[in-house]
Structure formats: C-alpha cells, structure tokens
Amino acid sequence: MTRKASAEACANIALIKYWGKRDAERHLPCNGSISLALADLRTVTTVAIDPSLTADTLALDGHPASAAELGRLGKVLRPLRERAGETACVRVESVNYFPTAAGLASSAAGFAALALAAAAAYDLTLDEPELSRLARIGSGSACRSVPGGWAEWHAGTDPAGLDSFATRLAPPDHWDLRVMVGLVATGPKAVGSGAGMAGTVATSPFYAGWLQGVAEDLPVARAAILARDFDTLGEAAERSCLRMHGSMLGAVPPLLYWQPATIAVMQAVWQWRQEGLPCFFTIDAGPNVKVFCPAAVAADVERRMKFIPGVTGVRASGPGQGVALSKAHLF
C-alpha cells in the first residue's frame, strides 16, 4: 500500500530580485528579495511512497525528468527521509499550469508543492519556515512560494541556511494588483539562472554595486507594499529589475536574456505610464516581461500588450496563496 499526498503552489514574481548565491549547494542567496505569488500560474505535485520502487521517479508535465532534475528531487527528499526514518522510494508527478522554463519560475511553484506533498506523504508536519527552507533546497526562489502572497526571502547569514527562508509580508488580498505576463519566447533559456548568477558573481564588476542597491531597495519596497504605494513600488521594482540585468551585462561572458520584444514591452510600459496608465514591469532571467497594474486597468493593459509586435501571448494573474495540500491527486 502506498501513502500519497498532493500539494498545490503558485509561481512567484520577484519585485526586488534574487541574483547571486553565497552557497550554490544550499541555494543561499547573497541578497534578500521580495515577491508576489501568482494565483494563475500554479503547479500541482503528487508524491507517493512506494516500497516496490527501486529508485525515485519524477514526471514533469508527463515527461520523465532528467538526471539533474532527479538530483534536485533527491536533495529535497533526503532531509524528510532522515527525519521520518524512511528509505522507501517515491513516485512524483508534477504538472505546471503555465509555460515552463521561460523565465516564469515554474521550478519555484514545483519545489514548494513538492516540499509540502512529500512532507505529508511521509506524515511529517513542518512549520512554514521549515517548509520554506526545504523548498529552497530544490530551487532558491521556491522558498517564496511557500508563504505565498506578498513574501520576503531573508538572505540570512547562517552557513547552514537556517535563517534563510521566506515569510509573508502581506496576504494575497492585501492589495489586488494584477500581473500580466507577456510571453515573448517560450523555448528553453540559453543560460539557466543558476549559471547566470554564478557568472555574474564571479566576473561582473557590477556585483558589489548590485548588492549595495538591493540593500537600499528592500526597505523601500517592503514599506511600499504595506502602504499600497503603487508608484514607489513600481520605481523600486523596475530599478531592481534593470540593475539585475545590468549586472549581467557586466559579466564575462556577458548575459543578455532580452529579446527585441522585451525592449518593446519595456518602452510601451514607460509610454503608457506617461499617458497616465498606472503600470510597471519586471523581467526575470528570460525574455518575458511581467507588467503589474491595479485590477481596475488590467483589461486595458492586457489588450495593449497583445498589440506589441513580438508578444506571443499574455497570461493574466492576481495575487496567489501559499502552498497548500490538495485532495485532488494526479495519479
């Protein structure tokens, strides 16, 4: 007989960006970050403990996972197995309800859901910081999908990462902003964000300046979210985004995740704002542009984005919840 659990988590979009690790194995960041979870970019993950298996299995959107992905799965399962005193293998399936590997941080939702589903399958009860740290071991930004809503990942200083997890700044319904994810290209990235961070930290003369800027922007963004100050949050978010991408341009070899349409969306957002439409953008380690706006103008922003040459689609989302158990299993 197998024990089985499923969990659902949302992707999250960083407003103050995470860029650079002080410990690549544990995904310990050099800087703190602040994010919003997105209700409509969800992952469901089911974990079943199956003593008949001779190795863990992992299927992502119905396809068998790579050896690297299985390795990350093992890193998350290991502490749970130790704690539960279990050795049996697991079958894991995960389904993303949005395009994967295109700067949309599907791994964040996936590892947050995995952490909770696996803990539940092993019949372990972890508190939120424990779950957040566990998700972080799979994918750094996944720790922010655990509390969901408006969340802050505290960089921490502990070499083992005990103080490096995310907490909730405000619940999803604190501020009904909408995020329009402008899809520019959905193919796999040329350089993964892990390698991109490592290259930036090791070779970009801008990295010290990046850290200095984040330290200034974190309290600004935190206060702006709590005060629902759209303009201040937007300025801080665009600053953080452009500095992250600027720091990459300084690396050897340089990192440029943008496509022509990425520039087109950025310029359009600046133009719309001049015209009085409240909106701001952020861009992760990929070509897609995420545009934030108040719910009242979301339809207008979405319509305008679809007219930009090179934008192949727009996915709208509101603020999302933290990770939660699901009664609907994938298998």
Residues that bind its own copies (CB under 8 A): 204-210, 212-213, 238-239, 242-243, 245-250, 252, 254, 256, 258-264, 266-267, 309-310
115 contacts 147 by C-beta, under 8 angstroms: no
Kindly state the smallest distance separating residue 81's Cβ from its own copies, in Å.
Answer: 44
Give, for 286, the enclosing helix (H) or strand (E). none
Paired strand residues for 183: 313
Kindly state the smallest distance separating residue 205's Cβ from its own copies, in Å.
Answer: 3
Kindly state the smallest distance separating residue 242's Cβ from its own copies, in Å.
Answer: 4
Residues whose CB is less than 8 angstroms from the CB of residue 304 and which lie 6 or more positions away in sequence, other chains included:
268, 272
Kindly state the smallest distance separating residue 294's Cβ from its own copies, in Å.
Answer: 22
Phi, psi of 236 (to 5 degrees): -65, -40
Q: What span, in angstroms and rounded, lies between the C-alpha atoms of 139 and 114?
A: 11
Kindly state the smallest distance separating residue 186's Cβ from its own copies, in Å.
Answer: 17
| Nearest CB to its own copies, comparing residues 58 and 255 | 255
| Nearest CB to its own copies, comparing residues 144 and 243 | 243
Kindly state the smallest distance separating residue 188's Cβ from its own copies, in Å.
Answer: 16
Kindly provide the residue ranges of all beta strands, DSSP E only, lying in the chain, ordered along the sequence.
3-16, 21-23, 28-29, 33-49, 57-60, 63-64, 90-96, 150-153, 166-170, 177-183, 280-282, 289-294, 313-317, 324-326
Name the nearest CA neighbour of 10 among 123, 111, 93.
Answer: 111
Query: For tokens 């050897």, what's the residue?
Result: 252
Name the nearest CA neighbour of 83 among 112, 52, 43, 115.
Answer: 115
Query: For tokens 């496509």, what's the residue?
Result: 259
Q: What span, in angstroms and rounded, lies between the C-alpha atoms of 28 and 140?
A: 7
| Nearest CB to its own copies, comparing residues 85 and 309 | 309
| Nearest CB to its own copies, comparing residues 4 and 239 | 239
Kindly state the smallest distance separating residue 104's Cβ from its own copies, in Å.
Answer: 20
| Nearest CB to its own copies, comparing residues 59 and 263 | 263
Kindly state the smallest distance separating residue 146's Cβ from its own copies, in Å.
Answer: 30
Phi, psi of 112 (to 5 degrees): -65, -45
Q: What span, in angstroms and rounded, lies between the C-alpha atoms of 317 and 176?
A: 10
Helices (H), 257-296: 260-274
Phi, psi of 328 (to 5 degrees): -90, 110
Strands 28-29, 324-326: pairing is unpaired
